[in-house]
Structure 1
Amino acid sequence: MELTTVWFALIAILWIGYFALEGFDFGVGMLMPHLAKNEKERRVMYNTVGPVWDGNEVWVLVAGGATFAAFPEWYATLFSGFYLPLLLILVALIVRNLAFEYRGKKDSDSWRKKWDVALVVGSWLPAVLWGVAFANIVAGVPIDADKEFTGNLFTLLNPLGLLGGLVTASLFATHGAIFVALKTDGEIRHRARAMAAKLGLVTAVLAIAFMGWIQVKTGDTASAVAFVAAAAALVGAMAANLRGREGWAFIGTFATIALAVAGLFLALFPDVMPSTTDAAYSLTTTNAAATAYTLKIMTWVAVIFTPIVLMYQAWTYWVFRKRITTDSIPDPVPDDAYAGHPGAEVE
């Protein structure tokens, strides 16, 4: 197997890891207003992803770095052509991450509410835009003979792209609801399971329409098998959720995301960015790749460091594996508790 194919597969695996892990982080943030009814429950939801969200984001950083090193032409065309949506994703991620870091810095209800809004918006926007971006990458975009993107933001906001955004948003929300049910107990756990059941139906309808459209447009037998397996995994996840088997339900939505992303990359291969202007202008694993020497060095680096990263992240999940309840959350301090005290902050 050629190293260009190996690195295409490795980049696909990195995106699978990112969407399957960061997907439930997005889902928790997206569902915050619907699942948490008081401050203690909001704290519970923050704590479900608090120890792992930053580790989950590493996957997208490595995916971007690997694309830059292994397929520089792909990276250049992608990041120049998709500059605005990728910038919006980056800003949203920064705002979302600030919510994790700054929400607890001040004992104020209004302060916490502002950061809760930042978390929700910073979760919804990437969840939608990642779907828009990948739908366009797989279906193709206008690229000229110089390998330059000739469209604009509105080119990406086509019906297939928008459907892709709805699919990723609903799938991440379902994944997040099941993760909350897996990691909590009490009322919020039951609320999350009920929400997952409703979201799962919406996700199934949207996903079937999207995957069918992609399959008709660009797919082959391999991608069709992956898409069918993804649909079966989602059905299994919903069945497990209805029986209260949150662990199996989470494995099911994890597998759904993994298989769906794998199907997209299988539909894309051997292209990395198809051109709708002229097929001859498409970027492929061959004409967009770095030199063989570069790929060889990268392969040795990946062989050495990838197992270390995987073991560390697995250890993190194992350490923070227990359920979280409101009983372990202290009572919030109201705004007026500090009124009249030295050093009290007045809003």
Structure 2
Amino acid sequence: MDLNTLWFILVTVLFIGFFFLEGFDYGVGILLPFLGRDDIERRVIINSIGPVWDGNEVWLITAGGALFAAFPNWYATLFSGFYLALFVILLGLIVRGVAFEFRSNDRSPAWRKLWDNMIFIGSFLSALLWGVAVTNLLKGVPIDANMQYVGGFWNLLTPYTLVGGLTTLLVFTLHGALFLTLKTTGDLVERARLVATRVGLLAIPMVLILALLTYSNTDLFTKPGAALVLIASAVFLVLSWLLVRIGRSGWAFISNGLTIVLFTIAMFWGLFPRVMVSNLNPDWSLTIYNASSSPYTLKVMTVVALTMVPIVLLYQAWTYWVFRQRVSDKHLHY
């Protein structure tokens, strides 16, 4: 395995971690205005992700940094071509972060409702647009011989990519509902479980539609391994829905998490060794070789990554362990 392949795998792992962890963050934010019947319940819902939401976003920052350093041409083409979509995602993340911090600064119901809505909007837009972005990478976008994106924003919105966006939106919402069944108490647990079963009924056919459109719009199914992983992700989604129906919420959360992990692996596996597909000419696609940094840069980065990544993983694991208990109104500070 050369360093180019190693760094492609590392970028994939970073996005897996981001989608798995930030996925339930998004889901909790999307469900906040609907599951929280009063201010106390909404505070409990927010507190369930309070100690970890900002740490989860570090995975995205690290993935962006890895792209910039290891594959600068991929970074440049992606961020210039997907500028507006990525700007909306960034805006959603900023709005969410501000809302989490500002919400409790005033006891006014109108004030708190405003920031609750901002949490919902930021979570909703980000969850939707990440699916649009990932499926665009696989489907292909207009890239010329100079690695320049020559399309516009509307080139990114096709039936296939919109289905991709709706899929991530529903799967992340399900992930958030399952997370709340594990982190809250009382009646809120049962309502979260009911929401999970209903969202799962929508997510399952959407994933199947996405798989069919992936077959007809991309070449992913020419790679048997990637196709099997994509099918396995759909199987785990069905299993998650069955498990939550019988009250096995913990296993349902793990199963839905595997859906997210396997879906991400399938998408990046379908890309490899490309990193962005050109739908103008396959020879103009960006690959792990023509989009990468110099071998020396990759060597230095590999040493840094092997040193620092395990420390970051241990710290985040410790954080989740410390805040592993369920959250209830008894933990609120009035």
TM-score interval (norm. to shorter): over 0.9
1:92 corresponds to: 92
When the two structures are superposed, what TM-score results if normalisation uses the length of structure 1?
Answer: 0.93
Asked whether 1:233 is paired with 2:201, we answer: no
Asked whether 1:141 is paired with 2:141, we answer: yes
Summarize the alignment of residues 308-319 of structure 1 with structure 2, pairs less than 5 Å apart. 308-319=311-322
Q: CA deviation at 1:330?
A: 5.6
Provide, for residues 58-109 of structure 1, a one-character-per-residue CA deviation record: whole Å limited to 9, x for no partner.
Answer: 0000000001111111000000000011111111110110011111111211
User: How far apart are the structure 1 equivalents of 2:96 and 2:174?
Assistant: 19
Summarize the alignment of residues 274-313 of structure 1 with structure 2, pairs less than 5 Å apart. 274-313=277-316
Does the 8 Å contact 1:215/1:223 carry over to 2?
no
Provide, for residues 278-300 of structure 1, a one-character-per-residue CA deviation record: whole Å limited to 9, x for no partner.
Answer: 11111011111111101111111
Q: CA deviation at 1:178?
A: 0.4
Q: CA deviation at 1:246?
A: 1.6
More off after superposition, 222-231 vs 294-303? 222-231
User: How far apart are the structure 2 equivalents of 1:7 and 1:251?
Assistant: 27
1:334 corresponds to: none
- Aligned-residue sequence identity (percent) comes to 49
User: How far apart are the structure 2 equivalents of 1:159 and 1:318?
Assistant: 41
Q: CA deviation at 1:204?
A: 0.9
User: How far apart are the structure 1 equivalents of 2:56 and 2:142?
Assistant: 32
Aligned AA for 1:240? L
Q: CA deviation at 1:31?
A: 0.8
Does the 8 Å contact 1:215/1:267 carry over to 2?
no
Find runs of 4+ consecutive structure 1 residues off by over 6 angstroms: none
Summarize the alignment of residues 181-192 of structure 1 with structure 2, pairs less than 5 Å apart. 181-192=181-192
User: How far apart are the structure 2 equivalents of 1:228 and 1:282?
Assistant: 26
Aligned AA for 1:50? G
Please, which runs of 5 or more residues in structure 1 have no aligned partner?
332-347
How much is the aligned-residue C-alpha RMSD, in angstroms? 1.0
Aligned AA for 2:36? A
Does the 8 Å contact 1:3/1:296 carry over to 2?
yes
User: How far apart are the structure 1 equivalents of 2:213 and 2:254?
Assistant: 26
1:345 corresponds to: none
SS in 2 for 1:141: coil
User: How far apart are the structure 2 equivalents of 1:58 and 1:227?
Assistant: 26
SS in 2 for 1:123: helix
User: How far apart are the structure 2 equivalents of 1:28 and 1:148?
Assistant: 37
When the two structures are superposed, what TM-score results if normalisation uses the length of structure 2?
Answer: 0.97
Asked whether 1:33 is paired with 2:36, we answer: no
More off after superposition, 244-253 vs 298-307? 244-253
More off after superposition, 144-153 vs 215-224? 215-224
User: How far apart are the structure 2 equivalents of 1:324 and 1:115?
Assistant: 21
User: How far apart are the structure 1 equivalents of 2:185 and 2:108?
Assistant: 26
Q: CA deviation at 1:34?
A: 1.5
Aligned AA for 1:97? G
Asked whether 1:73 is paired with 2:48, we answer: no
User: How far apart are the structure 2 equivalents of 1:318 and 1:229?
Assistant: 29
Summarize the alignment of residues 161-200 of structure 1 with structure 2, pairs less than 5 Å apart. 161-200=161-200
User: How far apart are the structure 2 equivalents of 1:154 and 1:228?
Assistant: 29
Aligned length: 331
SS in 1 for 2:69: helix
Which residue among 266, 269, 274 is the counterpart of 2:269? 266
User: How far apart are the structure 2 equivalents of 1:184 and 1:249?
Assistant: 16
User: How far apart are the structure 2 equivalents of 1:203 and 1:36?
Assistant: 22
Q: CA deviation at 1:201?
A: 1.4
SS in 2 for 1:107: coil
Aligned AA for 1:190? E
Asked whether 1:218 is paired with 2:219, we answer: yes
User: How far apart are the structure 1 equivalents of 2:247 and 2:119?
Assistant: 28
2:130 corresponds to: 130
User: How far apart are the structure 2 equivalents of 1:152 and 1:171?
Assistant: 28
User: How far apart are the structure 1 equivalents of 2:326 and 2:270?
Assistant: 39
SS in 1 for 2:327: coil
User: How far apart are the structure 1 equivalents of 2:93 and 2:331?
Assistant: 28
